[in-house]
Every structure is written in C-alpha cells, then in structure tokens.
Structure 1
Amino acid sequence: MIKKQFVVIGLGRFGSTICKELFLQGHEVLAIDQLPENIHKVSKYASHVVVADAIDEDALNSLGLRNFDHAIIAIGEKIQPSILCTLILKEMGIKKVWVKAQNEQHEKVLEKIGADRVIHPEKEMGIRIANQLNSERIIDYIELSKEYSIIELVASNKVSSQTIENLDIRAKYGCTLLAIKNGEDINISPSSKDTIYEGDILIVMGQNNDLKRFEVQGL
C-alpha cells in the first residue's frame, strides 16, 4: 500500500471517524480543529494534531499543507468557515479537497469554488440504508450518479450452480458483474466460466433501472 498524507480539518463525529480510519490504514494524518477537546479525542489516531482556526490562512500555511496529497474539510454546522477553508486550500494547490456539505446550496457554492468532491454523509447513508430496507437481497448500495450505482446482491437458488456465461447478465440486463464474494474469498473480475452458488454476494454495476430489473427477474 502506498502511504499517503492526509489533513483532516474539523474533528466532529464525521471528521474524527475519517481521521481514525485513515490512520489505522497506515497513512500519515494531520488532524486540525480549533477546540482542544476535539484534538485530545483523536490524538491516538493521528500522526500530528494541531489546534488551529480553519480560516487562519497564515496558520494553515505555517503547517505546510501544500505538501499534503489530500484534504478533508469536515467542519460542523457553520457554512462560512467551510467555504473559506476550501478557498484557502485550493489556492495553496492541494491536489484533492473533499468537503462535507450541510445542504444543496452549500454544495453548489463548494462546487463553484473548486471542491473536488462534496460529501453529504447523512444523505449518502440514508440512500444506502433505504435501498437495503427496500430489498432483502441488497446487502450494500453505492450511488455513483443519479442514474448509475453499484450494489451487492445475494445470489438465490435460482442462479445457483450456473456459470456467468450461462446467466449472460450483461446482455440480458445491461449490468456488469464486478466481483463475487464467498465468505472471506473474493473473485475480482470473474471470467465467463466461473460458477455462482446460492449465498454468494454479487457486486454488480449498472443503470438503476437495469439493476432493479436484474434483482427482480435475474435472481
């Protein structure tokens, strides 16, 4: 794994979780928040911790943030600091700046000022959970765009012991089978001769209507 450098600004529940997971994955993480108590909570899960104001350009410059690969701005409910911090980091030349948005208006502003990705944690999690609740077969759901998604589906006995070639998922449903999971084993980019068994987890990508058709008719 290539070790990367991340800076996480804003250490509420969302920011602190990202900080901890990136650190546990072996990356270098600089955690920044203006509240010492938030810094204390993540001190064990960050390479460096700093108490600083997210819109203090001089303070951010002094930390050498321009050398970091990726910045995550996870500032809480205040929209203005989030926007100003995004502007500062983009002007510094940080390659990728991901920002947590509070609402659609906030998202539009962030996109206009150059945020590389806008994140809606509650919205994205809500969509995933709603899709899991909608079908007993859906294990997980990732929205790629308004029209395309990736889903994990449980194979039924209807498709058990059939090869991918026989099922012909792409031709019949317009979907792409990305991988097959069986317990701890995962088959990435399975071949046409590979066999699917009941209980296997199928990771499938496609247009939402096609995915639904595959779920209802194919499985």
Structure 2
Amino acid sequence: MKQKKEFVVIGLGRFGGNLCKELTDTGVEVVAIDKDPERIQEYSSIVSHAVEIDAIDEESLKSIGIRNFDCVVVSIGEDLQASILITLILKEMDIKQVWVKARNEYHQKVLEKIGADRIIHPERDMARRIAHHIGSDKVTDYIEISKHYSIVEIIASNKLAGKTLNQLDVQDKFHCTIVAIKKNENDISIIPSLDTVIDLNDILVTIGKNTDLERFEDLRV
C-alpha cells in the first residue's frame, strides 16, 4: 500500500522547478523530468528522482513507469506544441490526473479539448491574488475555486469585533460561510461554532460567491 502520493513534474522551468521544491517540502514523492541535463543536475538533489528524457517520446515515459503515478504535471512554458503533444500522450496512456500549465486562453482551449484534468494559469492566478490584496486592505489572501466562487481571508474590523457568528449571521445575510477563524498562527478554529466571538483583527477564512464575498468585505452588517 502506498504511504505517500507520487507526482511527476515535466518541465523544470521557473514554475515547474518551484513546484518540485514545494511538493518535496510537503512530503510528496516527486519525479522531475526535463530534456536539459543542467536542469536535471540542479534538481537531482531536491526531488526523489530526476530523469533526463524527452517527454514527447512515449516509450521513454513508459520506461519510468509513468502510469503508476497519482498525477503528472506538464509545466512546459514556451513550447506550446510540446505541451499539447505531451498532454495528449499522457491522456492516451490513461494517466489518472494530468494537470497542465497554460500559457494563454488559446492554449487552455486546446488543452480542454484533449482532456487535461486541470489547467493552471500561474501568472494570471497570482495577478488576481495581488489585485485583491491591493484592492482591499481587508483581504489578506484570495484563492479562486471556480469562475464565480472563491475563498478569501478577511480581517475583522471594528464592525465585527465583539460579535458572535450567530449575531453576524453571515450565511443568511451574505450567503457566505466562515469556515475558519485565525486568531494567530497557533490559534486556528476550523468550522467555528456559532457562539464563537470575533476579536478585532481576527482572520476570517470565508467561502462564497464572488459577488457575495465583495458585499461581506464591505462589512455593511
């Protein structure tokens, strides 16, 4: 029985390389693939295995037992043709999950048509997170779940401080749900009870429709 999840990252550019480091830090077994020997050398001491192959070659992928992995991330940036061909090969090999970094909307449309399980837009997504930070001094973080729904971390203002979740009735008034309250790094309440009292500057981890979250950020309670 497997004890750890196992991922393959194809393409060790800036995004793929950083992804390898982050996955390894969380205890995930990572196989890094690139056709550049210098990049393989750079990451050989970081990941579980670093393999120098051209991922467009189906036989090379089979030789490392790629079907046995939980997820393959295609993080090739500039070469759209290689990204698309590799994705197509992986899907035809019945890989469980194929996640692909998309360069633009055109790239995304092609990836959707050939069956990519998840499409990643790192630059666009980071830009949106930064925009939310800049646009509201009440929001400390933002994660997009879908086109219309997100999770935001909202700083509790004077309007919320001293009130219980039951008194605020966020779900009824704003159709949002506070799924956690962070008072500090060591004091985090997951699925807080309705009698939980909110203190000034608590971080409210809130999920909901974007338009409803914006209303809640305005704190017109």
TM (norm. structure 1) is 0.97
Which position in structure 1 is the counterpart of 2:95?
94
C-alpha contact 2:181 2:190 (8 A) present in aligned 1: yes
Which position in structure 2 is the counterpart of 1:213?
215
Which position in structure 2 is the counterpart of 1:63?
64
Q: Per-residue displacement from partner, 1:128-176 (whole Å, max 9, x unpaired)?
A: 1001100101101111222111100100122112110001001111111
Which position in structure 1 is the counterpart of 2:181?
180
Which position in structure 1 is the counterpart of 2:150?
149
Q: Distance in 2 between matches of 1:71 and 1:214?
A: 38
Which position in structure 1 is the counterpart of 2:200?
198
Aligned: 1:140 with 2:141: yes
Which position in structure 2 is the counterpart of 1:189?
191
Secondary structure of the corresponding residue to residue 18 of structure 1:
helix
One-letter amino acid of the structure 2 residue matched with residue 113 of structure 1: I
C-alpha contact 1:24 1:45 (8 A) present in aligned 2: no
C-alpha displacement at 1:86, in angstroms? Answer: 0.6
C-alpha contact 2:163 2:197 (8 A) present in aligned 1: yes
Counterparts of 1:1-219 in structure 2, within 5 Å, are 3-184=4-185, 185-218=187-220
C-alpha displacement at 1:217, in angstroms? Answer: 2.7
Counterparts in 2 of 1:154 and 1:78: CA distance versus 1, 3 Å: same
Q: Distance in 1 between matches of 2:197 and 2:96?
A: 42
C-alpha displacement at 1:218, in angstroms? Answer: 4.0
Secondary structure of the corresponding residue to residue 158 of structure 1:
coil
Q: Distance in 1 between matches of 2:219 and 2:163?
A: 15
Q: Per-residue displacement from partner, 1:86-107 (whole Å, max 9, x unpaired)?
A: 1111122211110001111110
TM (norm. structure 2) is 0.96
Q: Distance in 1 between matches of 2:63 and 2:122?
A: 30
C-alpha displacement at 1:20, in angstroms? Answer: 0.9
Q: Give the unaligned 5+ runs of structure 1.
A: none
C-alpha contact 1:100 1:121 (8 A) present in aligned 2: yes
Identity across aligned pairs (percent)? 57
**Would you say how many aligned residue pairs link Structure 1 and Structure 2?**
219
Q: Per-residue displacement from partner, 1:173-217 (whole Å, max 9, x unpaired)?
A: 111111101111211111111111001000111111111111113
Q: Distance in 1 between matches of 2:198 and 2:111?
A: 44
Q: Distance in 1 between matches of 2:10 and 2:201?
A: 42
Q: Give me the CA root mean square deviation.
A: 1.3
One-letter amino acid of the structure 1 residue matched with residue 219 of structure 2: Q
Secondary structure of the corresponding residue to residue 38 of structure 1:
helix
C-alpha contact 2:159 2:219 (8 A) present in aligned 1: no
Q: Distance in 2 between matches of 1:141 and 1:27?
A: 25
One-letter amino acid of the structure 2 residue matched with residue 187 of structure 1: S
Q: Give the unaligned 5+ runs of structure 2.
A: none
